[in-house]
Structures are given as C-alpha cells and as structure tokens.
Amino acid sequence: MSGLECKNISKSYKDNKVLDNVSLNIEQGKIYGLIGRNGVGKTTLMSIMTGQNPADSGEVTYNGQPVWENAEALSHICFSREINTKSLLGMNNQKVKEYLRLASIYYKNWDKDMELVKRFGIDKKKKVCNLSKGMLSMLTVIIGLASKAEITILDEPAAGLDVIVREEFYKLIIDEQQENGRTFIISTHIIEEAANVFEEVIILKDKCVYLKENTVELLDKCRYVSGLEEDVKNAVDGCKIINEEHIGRSFAVTVMQDGDGKIKAVQHVTVQPVSLQNLFIAICGQSNM
C-alpha cells in the first residue's frame, strides 16, 4: 500500500501508556489535520511515524517498507517540530544559514530556491538561539516546506506566528500539495483557523484514533441541536450522540447523523451546523486523554 501506514502501534513510558494499538493510513497527496488534547500522544505518534522514536509494538511502513532504521524510507519523510534552543547539543551558537545548510544535507530533495528565508524576513546571520519564538516557528516552517519531502509532518508550526504569517503559511501548504502532490500532516491547537486547509481530520482520544474522516463530509453529518430536553431527544432519536449539556432550562446535544439516524423535524427545536473546533470540544471536552 502506498503512503505512510501505522499498524497496531503501542507506546508506554514506564507505567503510562500513551498510545494503544493505533492503526492509521496516510495517503499520498492529502493534507491531514492531527488534533487532540495536550498529552494525548500526538507528538509521540509523529515521532514514531518518522523513525525518531521506537514503538513498543506495531510497525510503521512507507510504501510497504519499514520506516524504523531504514534510511531510504526516511529520506522521503520530514518531521519538522518546534526548535528547543536549550537542547541543540552544541549548536547554540550556530547561525541560521548553517542550520539550514545542515538540513539541506539531510533532505535529498531540498529546494534552496524557495527563497523562504527572504519571504519570512529571517536574518540568516543571526544565531538560532537568539531567534524569537515567532522566528523559530518560521524556521520550522521553512525546513518543512524546503525539504520537499513526500511526507511532511509539522508539529504546532503556527504556534508562534502572527495571523498574517499564518495565512501565508497555509497558502504555501496548499500550493505545495496541489503543485507537487505532497502529503502534509499538521498537528495544531489553532483548529478553527486551519480547518479549511485540512482535507482529512484525525482526532486522537483515549490513546487511540477516535476518528479519521474527510473534513467536509464529517462536518456535514454533525449538528448542534437545542431546545427543551424531551423535544431534543425526540428530534435526535437514532442519531449518534457525541455530547450533551444542560444550559439553564435548555438542553443541547452534538450529534452525528449516519445511515438511518437522521434528525427529525420537531417544533421549537433549533438545529445548527458545527464547526471543527466545536466538534473537537464536544468529542474531547470530557476526555481523560
């Protein structure tokens, strides 16, 4: 099978199980959003997918070949994550231009002509350790994009970027996917802003994949239904209840319609669409992660 595939991945740190039997297929040429609460295992999963962290059990393959300790498979994958200047291991005094030069050696399809350093306004002569949080985020984005890796994974790439640069980043991601058929996996907590970029969304909950679906199709199935409790329950009878809440004298549920489970027309009941962020809150708000 082409693409990146996780098969029954489990991982624990001492007595704390972080991932439990995770299976996931990442197809070529799509933009995925990977979302979940803090501590749910997103970064652990991404590090296992990119051969930087061994799984306790299970296997990750790229185009059918194991990723772990496989230089050929790993040459097609880039994992660009937040740069911790305190753990650069002797590289604290390295300038941006040298940091990028080393990255260009590691990634065989590196594209120095993307001119992203100039585009984002980073001083190549500045030391990495002296960059602001925003500039460090920009450097992370530059490495991910310029790597030209077929599978590019970005962990919280927009966290330190202002809204204008974030918009530019999303446009670049879409351009790269459309023009070069690259696959992107973006882990972010800025869900609402990035929702329109995600072709598919992956939600991690309770140590495993809660869902993996086309974003538009998923949101088209989900609704927020409110009114008096008895009326609401009659309206959503047969639907999958994701979350329910009491708001004063009103009652509200977030539901997923599927198959024969459709919302019925009931008087005095309000039915509203659900944003990806609100759906995420409904799914994970009560989770113990």
Question: 152-208 pLDDT, tens per residue?
Answer: 999 999 888 999 999 999 999 999 999 999 999 999 999 999 999 999 999 999 999
| Contact partners, residue 277, CB within 8 Å, separation at least 6 | 191, 192, 195
Task: Work out the average pLDDT over 266-278.
Answer: 95
Task: Work out the average pLDDT over 59-66.
Answer: 95
Alpha-carbon distance 205 to 284, whole Å? Answer: 7
- Strand-pairing partners, residue 19, are 11
Mean pLDDT of the chain: 91
Confidence of residue 87 (pLDDT cuts 50, 70, 90): low
Residue 47 in this model has a pLDDT that exceeds 80: yes
Residue 51 in this model has a pLDDT that exceeds 80: yes
Q: Are 182 and 152 in contact (CB under 8 A)?
A: yes
pLDDT > 70: what percent of the chain? 95
Cα Rg, the chain, nearest whole Å: 21
Confidence of residue 115 (pLDDT cuts 50, 70, 90): confident
Task: Work out the average pLDDT over 245-256.
Answer: 92
The pLDDT of residue 289 is 41
Residue 91 in this model has a pLDDT that exceeds 80: no
In tens, the pLDDT along 125-146 reads 998 888 888 999 999 999 999 9
Instruction: DSSP letter for 190, please.
Output: -
Task: Work out the average pLDDT over 18-44.
Answer: 95
Confidence of residue 245 (pLDDT cuts 50, 70, 90): very high
> Is the Cα torsion angle 98, 103, 109, 110 positive or negative in sign?
negative
The pLDDT of residue 287 is 47
